[in-house]
Chain A
Amino acid sequence: MVKLSRRGFLISTGWVAGGVTLIYSLRNRAIATAPTIIFPDEASGAAWLQIRPDGSCRMFFSRQDMGQNANTGLAQIVAEELNIEMKDIEGILPTTSDVPPLAVTAGSMSLTAFSRPTAIAAATLRESLRSRAAVALSKPLSAVLDDRGGFRTAEGHTISYVQLVDSANVIVDFDDNQPAPALYTFDTTRAKNQIGQGVKPLGIRQLVTGDKVFASDISMKEILYGRVIQPPVRNALLADLDTAGVAEIPGVVQIVHQDDFIGVVCKTPSAVDAAIAQINVTWDLKQPINQREIDRLIDVDKAMVNGDLEHTLLDQAHRKDVDWEIDLRFDVQVQTHAQQEPRTAIARFNEGNTDHKLEIWTGTQDAWAIKRSASRDTGLPEEDIVVHPQRMGGGFGGREYYEVERDAVRLTRAVKRPVKVQWTRRDEFTASRSRPASAQRVRIATDSEGNLSDWWHSYISGYVTLARERLPGWLLPMMRLGEDSGVVKGAVPHYSAPHQRVEYQDVDFPIDLGVWRSLNGAPALFAIESAMDELAVRRGADPVDYKIAQMKGAHPRLENCLEEVRKISKRRPLPKGKGYGRGFACGSYDGRCFVAVSADVYVDDATRQIKVEHMSCAQDVGLAINPDQLRAQVESNMAWSVGMALLEKFEVANDSIQSANFDDYRIPRMTDMPSLTISIIDQPSIPPTGAGEVALVAGVPAIANAVRHASGVRPLQLPISYEAVSANDLENI
């Protein structure tokens, strides 16, 4: 295969078909099955931008779309820098062959990591066009002023991008020896045209008309339907297989069996259902799958009997023998993503002399990881494989790995026709990489003035980013000597004490684990914020005042969020009477996103239920590029807070996953939703901080604290049940 230079490649694919294009180069490469973690730097640009001869702008979107609408925000930045309107931008979700690897879409990092490089790329393009305008107008650069879609002079001459761009290819390389051009996006003195506006999410019309936007909407000639039997856990070994009678089912094309991989390919989806139902499989497990085993693994109190836990996050003049004012254990159950779209992939092998021998269509957070894994799985060189990423019907951290894609690739290879694999809802639950359960012991002591003197937080969680099968097996033991970046999320408190220790242990679970919205952020803040609330309540202090005081001025943005949420929560007085309670909580995600939430709950003795009636949220987002979409992310996080605090529990028993569908894994419904008051705190001088998984960290403990206020009983386990806090069961405090 001829290796083209990046520039030649761009031209050969027709991307540079005329006009002025800005390109960037990329230096790094990621390893086999690990996530793609190449973030753009300032000199690289985050987007390929092109002004076309008709004056419109084309951009390759750098983020995978799953409802967070990050690409809309990035397009707003491009429009701001180029003085154009959103309608002038054509966005394209690139395939893995269109652009160099882009970072996995995760960690609420999209706007944080991509906004500035995108702005630099667009501003560089603008300034290069300004130079052309100066030549065309015979004016010095300084006399060429911005105008909508072009430039003007003080004398009133105008020249548009259309006039400056012809059909000749001109490529502008970003020169990182030059100072960055003026960035309008981050200039707090400028009036903005796009930034801070409630720009409509791109592609919204397609979503309300039922257009083809998801992987499962793709059809192609000769397509067949396949499915694979998902083991209860990925390291299970096939013990016994009985496929008698399957081949005789009408519509069955082929049974595919390689080692522990068993799948079928059929002419229609109902034949797939019938064939899978006919196959009998038993699995050998390495660990028993049941709740008791999980409870045993995370028993933090038992582990602490043996001394310090394995990893230390914080240790400062730690004291063990103190008169603990708070000494509570908090337990969080397994939760799973349950995104509305069961994942789907289509794979096709192309015969003969084609650009790509293997094509994959899928909704994924990490298209380049899929390509690398498919290469490893098939033995094909990476350049022979292309992934066409599609919109995801929800991601939430669960769609970074080669899974349904693997099923489709192996089945299509066996039958030599394109195969569509759509997981069933049961497959989704069985093969999900859920958020682990965890158990946390929090101990707090105070000095004679009531300030924190000792903080000791010890916890055990299942692995998150270092979970089994997320990295190559040979790499895992080495990586596990270090920190699991998911397990440590949120655990260092914002409160300061002269004597502190935060320690944890991570353990292998009998089920597969992985990244779930906020990772350990919401579990950790549930424990920390509950413990602090309990301390304030027992001292007779106002929890908001007490928390602010114990931050000792170190987190002004977080304090500000708490003050703001206290203010906005007052707009809606808490109803008087038994059963009503209001709780507050605050937190940060990765130390860059700050949020505070208040929740009003009603503990209803008549129906024996807990209902969240209202939530208020104040979130400091740095520069608010699209306030409406930031609000939408807060709304989503509030819904997830209700789910995590009150509803969701992933059930395992009898060596299998019991949760199989929405009838036995309860996610929030419309009637579970509280009314909301949301305040987006815009900080134009601070880069955008991300929002996708932030407010959840404060929403969950706010609900728990409200239940404490309403019932007088401290919730110690998630999800919180009415029974656990009803007056009849007071022994848990």
Chain B
Amino acid sequence: MKLIVNGTEHQIEPEWRNETLLTVLREHLNLTGTRFSCGIGQCGACIVHLNSNPISSCMLPVAEAETHDILTIEGLAKEDGTLHPLQQAWVDENVPQCGYCQSGQIMQALALLQETSSPTDADIDRAMNGNLCRCGTYDRIRKSIKSAARAMAEAR
């Protein structure tokens, strides 16, 4: 069994094939940027993209992710270290406090911007309301999404 993560093909050993995608990413492939938090798809900390669609990787049996293109937080920055505009906006606004939920927040925001290049507050509410942040960084997340949207529009 193989997984394609951030453009790289990984062989999945037999003992890991009954795990969730999240467990395989974290414990087998050592891609730990995607976090475990609720385990029931209720908080968004574990969001990755499967063929450009955001999904809770804590709920998905790894077998169902085979042959799909998986994008994780580790795949966002360029190889030379240049951050994705969303990551850069997160840094510019000093969004993270504890930081634990932020990978999932950024991946969910990416899905939003792929669908809506210039989101309104209502669009942001709709897209982000499933992503919990106990530290309460929501205000800065909202600002960062808007500034990233502007930066991405300018780059186009």
B96 adjacent to A201 (CB under 8 Å): yes
B37 adjacent to A340 (CB under 8 Å): yes
Stretch at the interface among A35-43, A264-272, A548-556: A264-272
A217 adjacent to B32 (CB under 8 Å): yes
Q: Most chain-A CB neighbours within 10 Å: which of B106, B136, B139?
A: B136
Known pairs A208-B102, A219-B27, A668-B136; A268 contacts B18 (CB<8 A):
yes
B100 adjacent to A662 (CB under 8 Å): no
A269 adjacent to B19 (CB under 8 Å): yes
A210 adjacent to B33 (CB under 8 Å): yes
Stretch at the interface among A92-100, A326-334, A386-394: A386-394
Contacts of B129-143 to chain A: CB distance below 8 A: 129-142
The reply on A425 being an interface residue by CB < 8 A is yes
**A210 nearest CB across to chain B (Å):** 2
The reply on B83 being an interface residue by CB < 8 A is yes
> Secondary structure at chain B's binding surface: helix, strand, loop or mixed?
loop
B99 adjacent to A670 (CB under 8 Å): no
Chain B residues within 8 Å of A422, by CB: 36
A216 adjacent to B36 (CB under 8 Å): yes
Q: How far is the CA of A338 from the CA of B99 in the complex (A)?
A: 15
A662 adjacent to B38 (CB under 8 Å): yes
Q: How far is the CA of A393 from the CA of B30 in the complex (A)?
A: 19
Set B40, B95, B98, B106: member contacting A340, Cβ < 8 A: B98
The reply on B39 being an interface residue by CB < 8 A is yes
A208 adjacent to B136 (CB under 8 Å): no
The reply on B9 being an interface residue by CB < 8 A is no
Q: How far is the CA of A205 from the CA of B94 in the complex (A)?
A: 10
Q: Give B118-154 as 1s and 0s: 1 = Cβ < 8 Å from A's Cβ atoms.
A: 0000001100111111111111111000000000000
A200 adjacent to B97 (CB under 8 Å): no
Q: Give B85-127 as 1s and 0s: 1 = Cβ < 8 Å from A's Cβ atoms.
A: 0010011001111111111001000000000000000001100
The reply on B70 being an interface residue by CB < 8 A is no
Q: Give A315-355 as 1s and 0s: 1 = Cβ < 8 Å from B's Cβ atoms.
A: 00000000000000000000001111110000000000000
Chain A residues within 8 Å of B33, by CB: 209-211
B16 adjacent to A632 (CB under 8 Å): no
A635 adjacent to B96 (CB under 8 Å): no
Set A337, A394, A424: member contacting B39, Cβ < 8 A: A424
Q: Give A259-277 as 1s and 0s: 1 = Cβ < 8 Å from B's Cβ atoms.
A: 0000000011110000000
Interface residue tally on A, bucketed by range: 35 or more
**B74 nearest CB across to chain A (Å):** 5
B90 adjacent to A636 (CB under 8 Å): no
A671 adjacent to B77 (CB under 8 Å): no
Contacts of B21-37 to chain A: CB distance below 8 A: 23, 26-27, 30-37
Q: How far is the CA of A210 from the CA of B124 in the complex (A)?
A: 22
B23 adjacent to A425 (CB under 8 Å): no
The reply on A584 being an interface residue by CB < 8 A is no
**A62 nearest CB across to chain B (Å):** 19
The reply on A667 being an interface residue by CB < 8 A is yes
Q: How far is the CA of A342 from the CA of B124 in the complex (A)?
A: 27
Q: How far is the CA of A676 from the CA of B142 in the complex (A)?
A: 13
B132 adjacent to A669 (CB under 8 Å): yes
Known pairs A209-B74, A392-B98; A673 contacts B40 (CB<8 A):
no
B23 adjacent to A632 (CB under 8 Å): no
The reply on B72 being an interface residue by CB < 8 A is yes
Instruction: With CB as the reference atom, state the residue of chain A lying closest to B131.
Output: A670
Q: How far is the CA of A205 from the CA of B83 in the complex (A)?
A: 9
A212 adjacent to B32 (CB under 8 Å): yes
Instruction: With CB as the reference atom, state the residue of chain A lying closest to B32.
Output: A217
Chain B residues within 8 Å of A391, by CB: 98-99
Q: How far is the CA of A4 from the CA of B137 in the complex (A)?
A: 46
Chain A residues within 8 Å of B141, by CB: 670
Q: How far is the CA of A286 from the CA of B68 in the complex (A)?
A: 53
B98 adjacent to A341 (CB under 8 Å): yes
Known pairs A270-B23, A340-B134, A425-B37; A209 contacts B83 (CB<8 A):
yes
Instruction: Give residues in B with beta carbon < 8 Å to A.
Output: 15-16, 18-20, 23, 26-27, 30-40, 42-43, 45, 72-74, 76-77, 83, 87, 90-91, 94-103, 106, 124-125, 128-142
Instruction: Give residues in A with beta carbon < 8 Å to B.
Output: 66-69, 198, 200-201, 204-205, 207-214, 216-217, 219, 225, 251, 267-270, 337-342, 391-396, 422, 424-425, 628-629, 632, 635-640, 661-663, 667-671, 673, 675-676
Q: What are 26 A-B pairs at a CB distance below 8 A? A: A67-B135, A209-B87, A210-B74, A213-B99, A216-B26, A217-B26, A267-B15, A268-B16, A268-B18, A270-B20, A339-B100, A340-B134, A341-B98, A393-B98, A424-B39, A425-B37, A425-B39, A636-B135, A640-B136, A661-B38, A668-B136, A669-B129, A670-B131, A670-B142, A673-B136, A673-B138
Contacts A339-B98, A662-B42, A673-B139 known; list 17 others, CB within 8 Å: A201-B96, A205-B83, A210-B73, A267-B15, A268-B15, A268-B18, A268-B23, A394-B98, A632-B97, A635-B136, A635-B137, A635-B140, A636-B97, A638-B136, A661-B40, A669-B132, A676-B139
